[in-house]
Amino acid sequence: MWRIGIDLGGTKTEIAALDPGGAVRLRRRAPTPPDYAGVIDLVGALVTTAEVELGGPATVGLGIPGSLSPATGLVRGANSTWLNGGRLDADVASRLGRPVRLSNDANCMAMSEAADGAGAGYGTVFAVILGTGVGAGIVQDGRIHEGRNRVAGEWGHNPLPWMTAAEHPGPTCWCGRRGCIETFLCGPALAAEADGPGARDASALPTRAAAGDTRAAAALARHTDRLARALAHVVNILDPDCIVLAGGLSNMEHLYGQVPTRMAAHVFSDTVTTPLLRARHGDSSGVLGAARLWDDAR
């Protein structure tokens, strides 16, 4: 059966369709409406049009920048704030006339990378998004681990471990706390570390560092050490079979050579062999993972 995935982002929404063998047969993007009713209409229109092109019905999975509360069933924690408080899965299901599955976008990314991406063949995959924000998803033996409270993988909103005196108490996070991992490891934080408040683009820092820019090199070194500490915490608690990096900062090559060595110094073990891998599907992981939500036998 066809499997449709939708990745609902703050500015763009992407749809993709997988055939029974897992090959991508359709893919397109559209601007995300800035209102709840508009999102429901867009998702409905995208699915209807796709199924006409595919020539048959499909399962539908939806990845969102938030999660459903297990207490209320309503969307919470979405930075696309117009989604918060909505019963999105039920409303999309009503629009389409059939059940849909919904999960956090980081969970969808992890699902995709565990299925046929960098994490394929590993039992427990911890997949990290390092971009404008920082988050993660956990897949164990082909199933998303969301947890009792549906917050498994909310790694970015834990405090940076083993803070130095200079780091303490850490920047204020949008969640209301200080010192969250996200405030140290996201792209804008790295850019500001090198170029001061207001800087947001860190993509050129490796090139600048290689050319002798000491400020860029120092910012990258601090970021690498912080990422190593933050991931060591995950290994000490979850001990995954691999860690996959996705998001814009995952393209920084030095991370794969330097982070594992620095991470090992903080892991409570005499050996640390956890592979650190770059996401295979890049920014397609979210929508491809959303399409695979029905593969997760719940």
Domains, in order of start, for the chain: 2-108+284-295 (3.30.420.40), 121-279 (3.30.420.40)
Note the pLDDT of residue 1. Answer: 87
Q: Among candidates 221, 214, 295, 298, which has minimal Cα distance to 252? A: 221
Half-sphere exposure of 186 (CA within 13 A, CB side): 20
Helix ranges, 55-104 (H):
88-96
pLDDT in tens, 282-291: 888 999 999 9
Q: How many helices (H) and strands (E) in the chain?
A: 9, 12
3-state secondary structure of 93: helix
Q: At what angle do helices 88-96 and 36-54 cross, to 10 degrees?
A: 40
Return d(Cα 2, Cα 272) in angstroms, integer.
Answer: 41
* pTM recorded for the entire structure: 0.93
Q: Residue written as tokens 């970021």?
A: 223
Note the pLDDT of residue 298. Answer: 53
Strand ordering across the sheet containing 2-8: 24-31, 12-18, 2-8, 58-64, 101-104
Q: Is the model's pLDDT at 297 over the cut of 70?
A: no
Q: How many residues in the chain?
A: 298
Summary mean pLDDT of the chain? 95
